[in-house]
Amino acid sequence: MKVPTILVPIAHGSESLETVCVVNVLRRAELEVTVASIESELTVTGTRGIRLTADRRFLDTGGQRFDMIVLPGGEKGSEALGRHAPLIERLQQQDDDRRWFAAICAAPALALAPHHLLDGRQATCHPAFRGRLPKFVDEPVVRDGHVVTSQGAGTALAFALKLAELLAGIEKSRAVAAQMVA
Q: Which amino acid is at 58?
A: F
CA 132 to chain centroid, in Å, comes to 18
Pairing of strands 5-10, 43-45: unpaired
Residues found in the chain: 182
User: Is 105 considered catalytic here?
Assistant: yes
- Which is catalytic among the residues 68, 105, 107, 117? 105
- Alpha-carbon distance of 171 to 106, in angstroms, equals 30
Contact 152, 73 (CB under 8 A): yes
DSSP 123: B
Report the catalytic residues.
Answer: 105
